Amino acid sequence: MFKILELSDLFVDACVRDESNNLMFLSVYGRDTAIHQLLAAFHLGRSDGGFDSMRLRDEDTGTVHPVSVQRPDRLTKHTGRLPSNLFGNLVHVWVYDPVMLQPDKGSGTAWVILDEAFGQDSRNRLIELIWSSYKALSPIPLLDSWQEVVLRATEETCLEFMEGNPFPPLGNVTAVRVTIPESFSDDVSAMVRAGMIGISGEEARWMEEARQQLRPQREAA
């Protein structure tokens, strides 16, 4: 859990930033008054008590993480109220850029966010969500049987795992940015011509051949 240092009694369990440290997603808990203060501060000038950046302190390690809030007009929110407990009436708010939930076909960009830390256990769920984003953004139809080949061939150009970012996700969350370039249709067409994918099971044969080529290398290692 992380504490927002600029305001009292606000706690964050997940935060996603882009490569420039801009806030993309924030999951925050607090009382009504504190939540309203936070949301208002995003849109107020410094002279009026607002801020364009904030600090999140890890309550376990004491590490402080900066978060930039330079584009508040892009942020929206989803609010829920938790059942009453020892801490009183708490509100849970998601503050996020809409592109986190809805792919932006104009820019060819989508984000995949998963409510668990990046790791082998989350891999299958993550891949399925990434592939769904590919299909939503692609200007041409993609067959599900092409998934493994297309992802392998385009991972370096289309996927940015934010764990490798200078400003990685905070909390129990995984984030990946998917970007489909203008050349994507040509890239897929090239895969078809090369026999890597097709409508007659070409992708299965190609993957098996690729595995056969890798097998001697693994055995030698």
Span 30-36, average pLDDT = 90
Q: Is the pLDDT of residue 215 over 60?
A: no
Q: Which residues are CB-contacts of 46 (< 8 A; sequence separation ≥ 6)?
A: 52
Span 191-211, average pLDDT = 81
CB-CB contact of 109 with 121 (8 Å): no
Which residue has better confidence, 24 or 8?
A: 24
Q: Is the pLDDT of residue 44 over 90?
A: no
Report the share of the chain in percent with pLDDT over 70: 91
* Dist. CA 166–CA 172, nearest whole Å: 17
71-128 tens-digit pLDDT: 899 999 998 876 665 556 789 999 999 999 999 999 999 999 998 877 777 888 999 9
CB-CB contact of 201 with 143 (8 Å): no
Largest Cα–Cα separation, the chain: 67
Contacts of 125-132 with C-beta under 8 Å, sequence gap 24+, read 126/174, 126/176, 127/151, 130/159, 130/176, 130/178
CB-CB contact of 181 with 129 (8 Å): no
Q: Please say whether the dihedral angle defined by the alpha carbons of residues 119, 123, 129 and 133, taken in this order, is positive or negative.
A: positive
Average pLDDT over all residues of the chain:
89
The pLDDT of residue 142 = 96
pTM: 0.85
Which helix or strand (DSSP H or E) is residue 96 part of?
strand 91-96
Span 175-188, average pLDDT = 96
The pLDDT of residue 88 = 63
The pLDDT of residue 180 = 97
Compute how many other C-beta atoms are within 10 angstroms of the C-beta atom of residue 177.
Answer: 21
Dihedrals phi, psi of 7, to nearest 5 degrees: -135, 155
